[in-house]
Structure 1
Amino acid sequence: MNTEKWKECGVSTKFPTYRNSPLVTEHSWQQSKRKDDGAEGLWRIHDGLYDFTEFIDKHPGGSFWIRETQGMDITEAFEAHHLSTTPEKMIHKYKVRDAVQPRIYTLTLHEDGFYRTLKGRVREKLKTIDMRPKRESDLIHLGLLLSTYLFAVASVKYNSLLALILASVALCWTVNVAHNYFHRRDNWQMYTFNLAMLNFCSWRIAHSMSHHIYPNTFYDLELTMFEPFFCWIPSPYMKSKTMRYLSWILEPFVYPIALFLQMATRIFYSLRHTNIMYWHDLLPLSLPLVMYCGSAGSADLLFCIRQWIYLTAIASFAFCVIALHATHHNPESYHEGDKIHDDRDWGLFQVSSVVDRADIKWSRFLVITHFGDHVLHHLFPTLDHGLLPALYPILYETLDQFKAQVLECKNIEHIIGQHKQLLRIEPKQRAPGAVK
């Protein structure tokens, strides 16, 4: 792709270095960002360079967010993760100087643009919004977490296939709901994301800092990590048509081992390169331990471990089925190479990368376990999913003002669409979500 075409269709003027790495992880993505962003070891927000070193341990959201983004351009992440105007006012005392080089990212966040306008309206709405749905989210999460352990114990105590399947589904849903929590300030619920061999720290990088900021682009680490098996970028140079059809055949084999591959990759990278493991990587072992102790001697340890492996494999399959057919990978949504909205507003770009689930909005349980209300979640990731439905009138009003719309479809259409997207090789010449 020539430079002019890249600037027209991409979110950046530079091809990310990490995509040339032989083994892509969240750590290699961070290294790439620090090299490509030109933040000079500091933190870049818009056109300013800031030194937040003294603020790392003072950050209300936890030190992780500041520490792990040092040396990067965090403009969009800063905007999306702070609804209040207070952070914008207080960072001035940490400013070192203006940046010399222009940003490599081409999307905009103008004061009178879509995202800033919407954020201001949401900020006012939150002053009067009913906060009780947050409690419902907490109860759903706790219920699923307890169900996971109870069904897991029952699966070994009674050697029950039904209990094993129910434990697997509960584990998958627990992880999905935990996604509601790791975008925010540190909390205990985020640790439950680790029960399925994932890790909330690595996913805060791969998901919150990468995928959420530039979904379906070359900077989307979640997109890249699946590329050995699945390629959703519409380019004939990325994968041949034959290999794209092969992805359909690979799905039932890749889905059950996806969670195991995540853990294996992180272990391998830690042993060969830089350690990216944490103490809470041991949390998945709590499941076979509880299964063994809860069986009260009716099952031996090896049987419990075998059941746990089966449980995790089923949960892995369910997780991939839900996550990969939830919102993003649809021929109607933006993917790298497609045309972007003319004003290149970051918020409109988020809207164009999502095709929301229209068939689950009636159920808060289905929304939070199946990544529903996804457009609003991408625009305001730190808000509890329970609060998002109240923001739709403001979202629609602002979209009408900026001549854009939310794309929606049913789950079966998402499943069909994901398979069509795997085969799509021609970029779209019209921006997704733009009103005709």
Structure 2
Amino acid sequence: MLRKSGLCLKGQRMAPRSRHDGPSEVARPKKFATGFRCYPTNRDEREKSAVKWMEGKRIDDDVGPYWRVHDKIYNLDTFINKHPGGKDWILATRGTDITEAFESSHISTLAEKLLSKYYLRDAAKPRVSPYTFHDDGFFRTFKRKVRPVLQKVGRGSDWKIILIQDGLALTFAALAVVAILAQSFFAAALCGVVLAMVSMCAHNFFHQKDNWRMYLFDLTLLSSYDWRISHALSHHLFTNTIYDFEISALEPIFEFLPKANKTWLQRYGSYVYSLAFFPLFFFLEVFKNWKMITLGQRKMRPENVLPFLELVLYCAFVPSFWIGLKLWLVMHSACSVWFLFIGLTAAHHHPDIYHEGDAMRDNPDWGLCQLDAVRDRVEVTGNLFLVSTTFGDHSLHHLLPTVDHSKLKYLYPAFFETCKEFDVPFQLVRQWELVCGKYLQLANITPNTSPPGYKAKME
């Protein structure tokens, strides 16, 4: 089957390419189709990281020291310190195609008008990404419909989500004190679960312009800066595709793409080895990040030390270092388990949800492709506490990630109207279906041969 881009054939076996070759249509051997023009550089590195993902994207997009939006190259050097969202977004994406990020982050037409001031030249090559943003397409139509709504209600945080985030942070601190004073491993574990909720709510804030609440995410062993890359700039923009870092980072332990060569252990072993992997995941991540800092492969940021300040506090107020260390380990193990359990069953994994390898829809409108790769849960939608602590209202959040979770509820009328206009029925599923769906997708080795669209139902 030939993609509409005309650049990738289903079942085509492609030769490996060097990271120095620059972007091309030559890619590593894969047995599934893709709409992307090339296979991601660094995707199959043994040790994966957000930094390496971005380095690979710079090679693939091949725009020099500039920024690409659609088919034009821009020089944003003089805009870096003027960017309302903070300079890190611009600095991190230097040398890449930021079309998807630009379109999903900016709802008004002001940013597009401002961008023209920094035009450098037209791009010489087609985009690596297959996604489109036509004015009469689903996504841009939806953005036009929500503009007057957001002008009225705003797109920032309201008092309710501030209360939720700050209340969770205070609860985390209180439980940490209880764990220390009582030397209670149960309290430490409960503290870890609340910390996971703090981080999931903080995820709402790191999608937005720089703010202090996004650093609550760094109370875990993860990094908000890295997650702005791996989550906001990778997963959110290229959901469930070969450019989704959150898919590749879990491989080969969790193989969510429907590959024919999955081993029996990869298909069914997660029932057992998840029990060992989930508690260790955060520790593996922090070890990898500090290894890179030590080797000079990435810079240390001040917020990176927050988890170790927690360890100092634990150890300072208990009889021995070992008791403090064990309490800290229990807390972060519980945090890791809860975060992964929710994260992997929140919205994206079931054989009826699009994953790279399935037939891609004929109309690659970015908004429609996002809906193909997302589902929302009956139990969560409509409850702001659950939305902010379990990755809820996920369809709207993926379409407009910089809009605060507290304002997404106002966008449903415009969303339903756009879905009706484009014949896209909105579907809510049960949480249990997505819990089961995770294991069904891990076991899945058969790609969907028909474009699933958003009409596929999970029976």
- TM-score norm. by structure 2 comes to 0.90
d(CA) in 2 for partners of 1:397, 1:52: 36
d(CA) in 2 for partners of 1:6, 1:17: 20
Counting only pairs closer than 5 Å after superposition, residues 42-81 of structure 1 correspond to structure 2 as 42-81=66-105
Q: Select the residue among 82, 95, 109 that pairs with 2:133.
A: 109
Kindly state the Cα deviation for residue 292 of structure 1 after the two structures are TM-superposed: 5.0
Q: Counting helix residues as a fraction of each chain, which structure ranks higher?
A: 1
Indicate the residue corresponding to 2:9 in structure 1: 4
Q: Does 1:256 align with 2:276?
A: no
d(CA) in 2 for partners of 1:152, 1:344: 48
Change beyond 3 A, Cα 1:358–1:276: farther
The DSSP-based 3-state class of the residue aligned with 1:49 is strand
Change beyond 3 A, Cα 1:288–1:164: same
Q: Select the residue among 402, 406, 413 that pairs with 1:382.
A: 402
Indicate the residue corresponding to 1:200 in structure 2: 224
Q: Select the residue among 136, 160, 174 that pairs with 2:184.
A: 160
Q: Does 1:247 align with 2:270?
A: yes
Contact 1:50 1:94 in 2 (8 A): yes
Indicate the residue corresponding to 1:397 in structure 2: 417
Counting only pairs closer than 5 Å after superposition, residues 254-333 of structure 1 correspond to structure 2 as 254-272=277-295, 274-291=297-314, 295=317, 299-333=319-353
Contact 1:266 1:276 in 2 (8 A): no
d(CA) in 2 for partners of 1:299, 1:378: 47
1:176-228 C-alpha deviation (Å, 9 max, x unpaired)? 10000001110000111011110000000000000000011110011111113
1:226-263 C-alpha deviation (Å, 9 max, x unpaired)? 113100000113x2234321222211110001111111
Q: Does 1:93 align with 2:117?
A: yes
5+ long unaligned stretches in structure 1: none
Letter of the structure 2 residue corresponding to residue 264 of structure 1: F
d(CA) in 2 for partners of 1:289, 1:353: 42
| Worse overlay, 135-144 or 12-21 | 12-21
d(CA) in 2 for partners of 1:125, 1:167: 38
Contact 1:149 1:287 in 2 (8 A): no
The DSSP-based 3-state class of the residue aligned with 2:120 is strand
Contact 1:181 1:187 in 2 (8 A): yes
Contact 2:179 2:187 in 1 (8 A): yes
Change beyond 3 A, Cα 1:161–1:435: closer
d(CA) in 2 for partners of 1:247, 1:273: 34
Identity fraction in percent: 37
d(CA) in 1 for partners of 2:265, 2:253: 13
1:49-71 C-alpha deviation (Å, 9 max, x unpaired)? 00001111111111100011010
| Worse overlay, 425-434 or 23-32 | 425-434
Kindly state the Cα deviation for residue 307 of structure 1 after the two structures are TM-superposed: 0.4
Contact 2:185 2:330 in 1 (8 A): no
d(CA) in 2 for partners of 1:132, 1:228: 38
1:140-176 C-alpha deviation (Å, 9 max, x unpaired)? 0101111111101101201234422321111110011
Kindly state the Cα deviation for residue 299 of structure 1 after the two structures are TM-superposed: 3.8
Contact 1:34 1:41 in 2 (8 A): no
Contact 1:175 1:193 in 2 (8 A): yes
The DSSP-based 3-state class of the residue aligned with 1:11 is coil
Letter of the structure 1 residue corresponding to residue 302 of structure 2: W
d(CA) in 1 for partners of 2:349, 2:276: 19
Letter of the structure 2 residue corresponding to residue 12 of structure 1: F
Q: Select the residue among 421, 425, 428 that pairs with 2:445.
A: 425
Contact 2:190 2:334 in 1 (8 A): no
1:79-111 C-alpha deviation (Å, 9 max, x unpaired)? 001112111001111110101111121111001
Contact 1:183 1:382 in 2 (8 A): yes
Q: Does 1:335 align with 2:372?
A: no
Paired positions, count: 432
The DSSP-based 3-state class of the residue aligned with 1:19 is coil
Letter of the structure 1 residue corresponding to residue 263 of structure 2: S
Letter of the structure 2 residue corresponding to residue 384 of structure 1: D
Letter of the structure 1 residue corresponding to residue 408 of structure 2: L
Q: Select the residue among 151, 165, 173 that pairs with 1:127.
A: 151
Contact 1:403 1:435 in 2 (8 A): no
d(CA) in 1 for partners of 2:92, 2:382: 38
The DSSP-based 3-state class of the residue aligned with 1:18 is coil
Indicate the residue corresponding to 2:210 in structure 1: 186
d(CA) in 1 for partners of 2:306, 2:50: 20
The DSSP-based 3-state class of the residue aligned with 1:93 is helix
5+ long unaligned stretches in structure 2: 3-7, 13-31
Contact 2:40 2:60 in 1 (8 A): yes
Change beyond 3 A, Cα 1:392–1:105: same
Kindly state the Cα deviation for residue 264 of structure 1 after the two structures are TM-superposed: 1.0
d(CA) in 1 for partners of 2:155, 2:447: 42
d(CA) in 1 for partners of 2:289, 2:252: 16
